[in-house]
Amino acid sequence: MKILKPPLKREDVEALEAGDKVLITGTIYTGRDAAHKRLVDLLDGNKPLPFDVNGSVIFYVGPTPSPPGRPIGAAGPTTSYRMDAYAPRLIEKGLRGMIGKGPRAQEVKDAMKKYGCVYLGATGGAGALMSQAVKKAEVIAFDDLGPEAIRKLDVVDFPVIVINDTKGNDLYIENVKKYKKG
């Protein structure tokens, strides 16, 4: 089991390989497609982002409302390809990790390899369980997006697995090859 503590350095993610099991402890951010579009629009307008993307990890999630006494509701990953149009730009700015589910476009994988970023898979359908790792949540940008607003999450032992590493390996492709042989 590997441990990641954002903010991450390039060396942190270069040490990971597709298939590695990882626990994240520290600050991660949430964001889905509408928030990603706004982030890229800010970059296009030469305006500051609402958080320092350099070294950050973004979790593709739109959490459910918080139950009493909890910082966040169910927080399961959303399908990542909806962020593919925006991800390379954020990776170029120093984004080091993305958490979601499903495969990524080749342009995203190329940017991860070039700039040093990993794609981490979270278990779909386990949002209630995953939310137990979230100790604090606060909206920091785009409140009008509701569940899709950007949140700053403090997490402890947030479980993920490396899908795409900085070397160009893809766990989804490798596992399909294994099962085709059998």
Residue 117 and residue 105: Cα distance in Å, rounded? 14
Residue 73 and residue 134: Cα distance in Å, rounded? 9
Confidence (pLDDT) at 176:
80
Confidence (pLDDT) at 23:
98
Residue ranges of the domains in the chain? 2-181
Residue 182: pLDDT band with limits 50, 70, 90: low
Give the pLDDT confidence of 51-75 residue by residue, as tens digits.
Answer: 999 999 999 999 999 999 999 999 9
- In angstroms, what CA-CA distances link 121 with 23, 38, 58? 12, 24, 12
Residue 181: pLDDT band with limits 50, 70, 90: low
Contacts of 38 (CB under 8 A, 6+ apart): 141, 142
Portion of the chain with pLDDT greater than 90, in percent: 89
Residue 120 and residue 18: Cα distance in Å, rounded? 9
Contacts of 32 (CB under 8 A, 6+ apart): 60, 61, 62, 78, 82, 83, 148
What is the Cβ-side half-sphere exposure of residue 119, based on CA atoms within 13 angstroms?
A: 32
Token pair, residue 102, equals 């499903």
Residue 19: pLDDT band with limits 50, 70, 90: very high
Indicate the residue type of 166.
T
What average pLDDT is seen over the chain?
95
DSSP secondary structure, 60-89, as one string: ---PPPPPTT-S-S-----BGGGGTTTHHH
The arithmetic mean of pLDDT across residues 97-104, rounded, is 97
- The SS3 of residue 2 is strand
Confidence (pLDDT) at 177:
79
The architecture (CATH level 2) of 2-181 comes to: Alpha-Beta Barrel (3.20)
Tell me which residues are annotated as active site. Answer: 36
User: CA-based Rg of the chain, rounded to a whole angstrom?
Assistant: 15
Please provide the distance, in angstroms rounded to a whole number, between the alpha carbons at the two ends of the chain.
27
Q: Is the pLDDT of residue 172 over 90?
A: yes
Give the pLDDT confidence of 119-145 residue by residue, as tens digits.
Answer: 999 988 788 889 999 999 999 999 999
Residue 24 and residue 40: Cα distance in Å, rounded? 26
Q: What share of the chain is helix, strand, coil (3-state, %, to 5)?
A: 35, 25, 40
The arithmetic mean of pLDDT across residues 17-43, rounded, is 98
